[in-house]
Homo-oligomer: A and B are copies of this chain.
Amino acid sequence: MRKIGIGIAGLGTIGLGVYKHLEGNRRLLTERLGLELTVTKIADLDPERPRTPMPPRELFTNDWHDLINDPEVQVVVELMGGIKVPYDFVTAALEKGKIVVTANKALLAERGKEIFALAAEKRVPVFYEAAAAGGVPIIKALKEAFVANHIRSMHGIINGTSNYILTRMSQAGLSFDAALKEAQAAGYAEADPTLDINGWDAAHKAIILASLAYGFWVDTNDIHVEGIQNITAADIEFAEKLGYKIKLLGVVKADEACVENCKVEVRVHPTLIPKDHVLASVNGVFNAVAVNGDVVGETLFYGRGAGQDATASAVISDIAEAAVALEIPRPNFGFVPHGLYAGCKPIDEVITPYYLRLAVVDRPGVLALITGILSEEQIGISSVIQPESSEEQTVPLVLMLHSAAQGRMNRAAEKIAALDCVKCPPQVLRVETFA
């Protein structure tokens, strides 16, 4: 029986999960693969930390170079976190001809272009199923299952922390702060949740999915990212009344025609989606990605996007593929760039419907002023909610707006914000109709 030597760099939560399940399901893996996956070396700065299960002490080193230089290590698994050290490690591994498995979405989003160029040059593949949507095999779907498809669009709930917070705000009427605290207490948000709630964790995944679908590595500067930190309980409630749920969505979309040379939208932002769309029912920490291909039509993938076990499931599937790839002259080293599409569309040109929530002074003529500005920018109104006036000096005013380019919407929002009768910065959220 052929043995594949695996070196794990970083034995944190995910690394330990990979080790645990390689051991726990060893017989099953061996039967299915016809070869044995064996962890032969582990690089970690803290080998003494108590772990369950505890790998034998002699596997450990605190220097990742030892994985690269060990001839018994054929596949390296990068689970260190951060960008700089992982980049040095991954590129050193490729230079040495060692197949790379990584779950590091930030690394690939920021340095993917260079990494995959080096992988292609060295003819050594990089696998990264766990870098987007954890246990959900969406990378494999895009690379292999939908190879015959021009991708019309992808809509993903790809950050479990944000989805947990929005779910709790919706289901229990919590404020953003209260829901975030609850997520932290439950272990679904880190002590510093910045990357999760500001949208950038989802953005890293959206960059990877978009790059795979469209054959050019998407630049972080070419996409639009907003987080959920400004979503209020009032927004959730108004959206509900209007028939929508608010989700942090990664949206990747080809121009209408979805032909070659089209431009691609890549954006992450809180989004109103119709209550009866299947993505509206994806709750808690679960992830889901809806993919629409020009041949396959609508599809959806759902599962756990994070956590020790689900992520380990994806990493081990990559290790298994890496083991097969060791023997073969693969034509695909992780990402195949081509020039069939025309790059990213500037966010100002992106057209969507909008939800606009204002806090206005409760007096006659205010609605006329606002609708006047919208009309100047040729933005149509589909509905207005103006709750009955109360004792408060300001009252909410919610408008649902027809599709308009982002640039126009921005101008309108600026003019509206400058009105005397408008008391807080306007809340502008995009609406996705899936039409």
Residues of A within 8 A of B (CB): 21-22, 25, 27-29, 31-35, 129, 135-137, 140-141, 144-150, 215, 260, 278, 281, 286, 293-304, 307, 309-310, 312-314, 316-317, 320-321, 324, 327-332, 336, 338, 340
Min CB–CB distance A106 → chain B (angstroms): 23
For the complex, give the distance between the alpha carbons of A295 and B25 in Å.
9
Stoichiometry, copies per complex: 2
Apart from A140-B140, A149-B313, what are 13 other A-B pairs with CB-CB below 8 Å? A22-B148, A25-B295, A135-B295, A137-B141, A148-B313, A148-B316, A148-B320, A286-B298, A297-B304, A299-B301, A300-B300, A301-B301, A324-B330
A148-B29, A316-B148 in contact; A336/B34 too (CB < 8 A)? Answer: yes
Q: A148-B29, A328-B328 are in contact. Are A297 and B309 (CB under 8 A)?
A: yes
A316–B293 alpha-carbon span in the complex (Å): 13
Selected from B141, B147, B304, B310, the residue in CB contact (under 8 A) with A29 is: B147
- Give the contacting residue for A147; candidates B32, B300, B328; CB below 8 A: B32
CB distance from A216 to the nearest CB of B (A): 11
Shortest distance in angstroms between A57's beta carbon and chain B's nearest beta carbon? 25
Tell whether, in the assembled complex, residue B324 and residue A295 are in contact, meaning their CB atoms are under 8 Å apart.
no
Contact B329 A310 (CB under 8 A): no
Query: In the complex the two chains form, is A313's CB within 8 Å of B146's CB?
Result: yes
- The contact of A148 among B25, B260, B332, by CB within 8 Å, is B25
Give 12 CB contacts A-B under 8 Å.
Answer: A25-B148, A25-B149, A27-B340, A34-B331, A34-B332, A135-B296, A146-B317, A147-B320, A296-B313, A299-B303, A302-B302, A324-B328
In the A-B complex, the 5 residue pairs with the smallest Cβ-Cβ separation, listed nearest first, are A137-B145, A299-B303, A328-B328, A148-B316, A296-B313
User: Do A295 and B141 contact each other (CB < 8 Å), given the known contacts A32-B215, A148-B312?
Assistant: no
**Residue in B22, B141, B304, B336 whose beta carbon sits within 8 Å of that of A31 in the complex:** B336
